[in-house]
Structure 1
Amino acid sequence: MAAPGRETAARRAAAGAGILAALAGCGDAEPGGSPRASDGTATSAGAGAGGQGGGASETPVEAILAELRADRDAALLAHAARTGWPVPVDGGYLFVSTSASLRLLAGEHDGWTGAEMTGDAGFHWIVLNMPAGARYKFTDRTAWAADPWSRACTYDEFGEMSLVAPREAHLERHFAVGDAAMAPRTVRVWVPEGAVDRVLYVHDGQNLFDPAGPAGGWHLQDHAPPGVLLVGVDSTPARLAEYTHVEDRIEEGGALIGGEGDAYADFLRDTVRPFIRARYGEPGPIGIMGSSLGGLIGFHAAARHRGEYAFAASLSGTMGWGSIGADVRHETMIERYAAHTERAATLYLDSGGGGDCVDGDGDGIEDDDPAAADNYCENLQLRDVLTRVGSPYVEGESVFYAWHAGATHDEAAWAARVADPLRIFEAL
């Protein structure tokens, strides 16, 4: 998701508006698609982590149906948090569709023919016994949709597929993770096959895994090294505020915006990480990664909670935030890291774009070429700060920098190079 850099006022305004969009992701309904699964091996749960399993306690079907009739959405959310959908019950699993038209459940278990679900008070339901890892969708035999409440899912050539109790590599989703300071949001987890030996927290979770995401998404699961648990934390409409450590101004004459980065970094440490630790464990090196403003907030979190993260990666990070407005002189990440006498973490930073890096307004940040793109100058200056004589960071050991000349500021460009920081993290 693009973030504003020092560009024209119009371009900054457009970028700022675009930042606020919250995008769809794993498990969201897809109205079209094919009923058939791919011929490949079904990906499913592994590593003994957080999906539904045969050992889950079973709630009587009638008790769950009563909850759904009383308050459908609250019951859906409660059981999504407890066991995940579909819910294990006596006789198999309880599946629920809230679509008025998608009243058949089809999957690998029945050759994608579809079984009629029972109509009820604003939902349809069915109990079926399916094997672990089975794929399914809701359908009317014309439209096909993944289960928007399923805990586990994967993707194939027909799009998103919901999974039952997977045991191989797969994606899982947890709804409404929040705290007193941060609005609830979805947390998406790539669960690798086999043992987990390290965990990487990544911002803008809704853009990471879904091939139907913006610009094709990151396809992050396709680059995941063995043993890495990837935790994608969704952004919200408050992204610009949450992902920035200080206020800044991105439109001439506009209001100061941003500055809730401390609360977001604390939310990761005090709410998201304990949530993941309780369900999956949190072994080995812990990393944090993001793009654009996500790269900025990752570096902020690594510096704010020094020692909590072994690795911080930024792709096209907005490292000049704090000095974009002509009259704004707040601390940038360049200045913060220039003051470091001890390492915060092993660092990776990059950008595409290019430009002439000049400090035309004398604020110490070389970001005043209007033709510069993709935060190139700010990241180059940060690289120079990190690798200067006397810095606690050593190039090629604790700081890694890459320039992808002309690369654009979008998910497709980040997907094309995200394997690089993942390899560095894998080697820690």
Structure 2
Amino acid sequence: MAAPRWVAAVRRAPALLALAALAALASCGDAPEADGSPRASAGGAGAGGQGAGGASGTPVEAILDELRADRDAALRAHAARTGWPVPVDGGHLFVSTSASLHLLAGDHDGWTGAEMTGDDGFHWIVLNVPAGARYKLTDRTAWAADPWSRAITYDEFGEMSLVAPSAAHLERHFDVGDAAMEPRTVRAWVPEGNVERVLYVHDGQNLFDPAGPAGGWRLQDHAPPGVLIVGIDSTAARLSEYTHVTDRIEDGGALVGGMGDAYADFLRDTVRPLIRARYGEPGPVGIMGSSLGGLISFHAADRHRGEYAFAASLSGTMGWGSIGADVRHETMIERYAAHTAPVATLYLDSGGGGDCLDGDGDGIEDDDPAAADNYCENRQMRGVLTGAEAPYVEGASVFYAWHAGAEHDEAAWAARVAEPLRIFEAL
């Protein structure tokens, strides 16, 4: 395949920017803001322990002393324990690290705004507010969601902070990483009622926010009842983390990628235990992504067989490993062609179109320079999955869709993500 065609497709994806002169994602690798707020792609911590007006067992003054001694460390520590606002005797402790946003307003006071107490690099207030109350930080001119709030939702004004909601909502976990994977935010769409199954999805910063690239996926609008959707943010190392082998994507360029094993193990050994501890992990467990996120979903399902009942790929880069003219590493097409038993129920699709050619004789039909959205690679993958000797059965253990002409971007994936969610819900 001609490398420029693939690189151009990657660069069209709003999630991707250049990394070391290569196409990769720039997302949550930034340092904390100067005022101590989380990274732009980050948020608060998970679900457990945040009740309305309950006692935390930690006196307010003790938490304030922690903030005075090392504000940012204390903010992160309590985000990981109970989430902000922190439940304390008499209500919840709210903190603002903005010098100007020193009022706390919300449903509890008709959005008039209560003056917070100024302290050493932060403002604070303890209020007893109803469960599920919405709030923001303000000076009555500017309004901002609390960047440290655990629970959020979105409305016509953007992000909205919540206190101990019981309705469906988003929750955020800071700085989730391990020895091999740099810290990133993990976001969980928490359904109302019981969690019945869990779906892990890559590129988490693009999944829920309506202000995300091309409007984001808005997965909360498609989430089936009882499905906990966990979005794992990507980082500037996305290209490496989401690929199982190295490849060359620019003529004369260096080999890139190949950290897929470490990323799949990070999901198994770090992310999933966190989710189990906060929410449980009942029922079927699935994994899903787009572009390279689709590739790594199929890789993780194969690497950790029996761990995922469902793997979904939207416009997956299934020819990775054979893009460079001189590179002959195992593609996901070849790996799955060798299966003698299904690893999971599979979904794959693409938009685009084109003539599917193997001009360089490497066995991968990816050499039409006019083809788009990984159409040919996914058509070939569908063929090996449904061949006469294949262990998969179309319509039962593998599902394929072609959306002719659809672009390689979040808007296109959002338009068709309801179908893999429907299949997952039916398992």
Q: Same fold (TM over 0.5)?
A: yes
- Work out which of the residue numbers 5, 8, 13 in structure 1 matches 2:5: 8
Separation of aligned partners in 1, 2:269 and 2:113: 44
**Alpha-carbon distance, 1:10 to partner:** 6.2
C-alpha change, 1:173 and 1:5, in structure 2 (3 Å) is farther
Q: Which moved more, 1:406-415 or 1:48-57?
A: 48-57
C-alpha change, 1:374 and 1:56, in structure 2 (3 Å) is farther
Structure-2 residue corresponding to 1:372: 371
Amino acid at match of 2:87: P
**Alpha-carbon distance, 1:23 to partner:** 5.8
| SS of match in other structure, 1:188 | strand
Separation of aligned partners in 2, 1:378 and 1:241: 20
Separation of aligned partners in 2, 1:29 and 1:290: 23
Within 5 Å, give how 1:9-88 maps onto structure 2. 11=8, 14=11, 17=18, 19-22=24-27, 50=48, 52-54=50-52, 57-88=56-87
Structure-1 residue corresponding to 2:323: 324
Structure-1 residue corresponding to 2:358: 359
Within 5 Å, give how 1:238-387 maps onto structure 2. 238-387=237-386
Separation of aligned partners in 2, 1:231 and 1:5: 35
| SS of match in other structure, 2:365 | coil
Deviations 1:358-387 (A, max 9, x none): 001111100011111111110000000100
Separation of aligned partners in 2, 1:93 and 1:5: 58
C-alpha change, 1:120 and 1:5, in structure 2 (3 Å) is farther
Separation of aligned partners in 1, 2:348 and 2:55: 43
| SS of match in other structure, 1:206 | helix
Separation of aligned partners in 1, 2:9 and 2:218: 27
Deviations 1:136-165 (A, max 9, x none): 001111111100100000011111100001
Separation of aligned partners in 2, 1:50 and 1:256: 43
Structure-1 residue corresponding to 2:231: 232
Amino acid at match of 1:100: A
> Would the aligned equivalents of 2:47 and 2:171 in 1 still touch at CA under 8 Å?
no
Structure-2 residue corresponding to 1:206: 205
| SS of match in other structure, 1:8 | helix
Separation of aligned partners in 2, 1:230 and 1:10: 30
Amino acid at match of 1:306: R
Unaligned runs of 5+ in 1: 31-47
Deviations 1:85-132 (A, max 9, x none): 000111111111111111111111111111111111111111111000
Structure-2 residue corresponding to 1:181: 180
Deviations 1:366-412 (A, max 9, x none): 00111111111100000001000010000000000000011101111
Q: How many residues align?
A: 407
| SS of match in other structure, 1:106 | strand
Amino acid at match of 1:139: T
**Alpha-carbon distance, 1:8 to partner:** 3.1
| SS of match in other structure, 1:174 | strand
> Would the aligned equivalents of 1:294 and 1:317 in 2 still touch at CA under 8 Å?
yes
> Would the aligned equivalents of 1:241 and 1:257 in 2 still touch at CA under 8 Å?
yes
Structure-2 residue corresponding to 1:93: 92
> Would the aligned equivalents of 2:55 and 2:90 in 1 still touch at CA under 8 Å?
no
Structure-2 residue corresponding to 1:422: 421
| SS of match in other structure, 2:358 | coil
| SS of match in other structure, 2:396 | coil
**Alpha-carbon distance, 1:50 to partner:** 3.3
| SS of match in other structure, 2:214 | helix
Separation of aligned partners in 1, 2:5 and 2:89: 62
Structure-1 residue corresponding to 2:33: none
Q: Which moved more, 1:306-315 or 1:101-110?
A: 101-110
> Would the aligned equivalents of 2:107 and 2:135 in 1 still touch at CA under 8 Å?
yes
| SS of match in other structure, 1:423 | helix
Separation of aligned partners in 1, 2:103 and 2:217: 32
**Alpha-carbon distance, 1:9 to partner:** 7.2
Amino acid at match of 2:405: G
> Would the aligned equivalents of 2:151 and 2:169 in 1 still touch at CA under 8 Å?
yes
Separation of aligned partners in 1, 2:150 and 2:113: 21
Separation of aligned partners in 2, 1:318 and 1:9: 9
**Alpha-carbon distance, 1:343 to partner:** 0.5
> Would the aligned equivalents of 1:107 and 1:134 in 2 still touch at CA under 8 Å?
yes
Amino acid at match of 2:212: G
C-alpha change, 1:325 and 1:246, in structure 2 (3 Å) is same
Deviations 1:224-248 (A, max 9, x none): 0011011111111111100000001
CA RMSD of aligned residues (A): 2.1
Structure-2 residue corresponding to 1:114: 113
Separation of aligned partners in 2, 1:10 and 1:87: 46
Separation of aligned partners in 2, 1:207 and 1:334: 27
The answer to whether structure 1 residue 124 and structure 2 residue 129 are counterparts is no
Unaligned runs of 5+ in 2: 30-36, 41-45
> Would the aligned equivalents of 2:136 and 2:160 in 1 still touch at CA under 8 Å?
yes
**Alpha-carbon distance, 1:182 to partner:** 1.2
Structure-2 residue corresponding to 1:140: 139
Separation of aligned partners in 1, 2:123 and 2:100: 10
